[in-house]
Amino acid sequence: MSSFWNIVAHIRDLASAVTPIAVVVLGIYINRTIQNQNKIAERRSALTKQWADEFSRLVDEVYNTSVRVFILYFQASHEDLFVTTEKAKFYEDMNSEVRQIALSLYQQKMYLEKFVDLAPRTGSAFDIALTNLHNEVRSWFAAKGGNADKFRNLRATFNQSARDTHREILQLDGEP
């Protein structure tokens, strides 16, 4: 019976020696796992912020471009107040700027479309608002003006949709 108790004593001594080592090894493993998860989350957060910043910058460009269209046609419709040079030169410059704006707006629209997939809940509404605003600007180009209230409403819808999409890209609504 004494050899049995000797074996139990050796097992107890062995367990006493191994337990602190096992705790240290397990602690190091858990610590490394947590650090790796933190690094992944940090990289994901940085990328999400980068996407959201780019989205915001492009939305601002679209908004500013649409305002410029509105202002150009406002100036043209009130030429007696705003045309201080020869009218032909004014309209030549305006047509040149309108062509540049049309190209710029189309390019901005193409860049913004990539963000639709990053916002599965709000992206399609944003894409519709962007397309509607783009189509309205194109109609203003074709008709040399348009309905100012409709234009403002489309810009407001675009801005609200952009805010919602921006929030979703940043994951501020609790959705992963």
The vertex-142 CA angle with 146 and 134, nearest 5°, equals 75
Please tell me the predicted confidence (pLDDT) of residue 152.
92
Answer positive or negative: Cα dihedral of 52, 53, 59, 60: positive
Q: What is the mean pLDDT of each run of 10 residues along the chain (176 residues)?
A: 77 80 78 69 72 91 90 82 78 85 89 88 94 89 86 94 92 62
Please tell me the predicted confidence (pLDDT) of residue 41.
58
Please tell me the predicted confidence (pLDDT) of residue 176.
44
Please tell me the predicted confidence (pLDDT) of residue 175.
46
Alpha carbons within 13 angstroms on the beta-carbon side of residue 114 total 9
Structural domain spans, the chain: 46-169
Please tell me the predicted confidence (pLDDT) of residue 150.
94
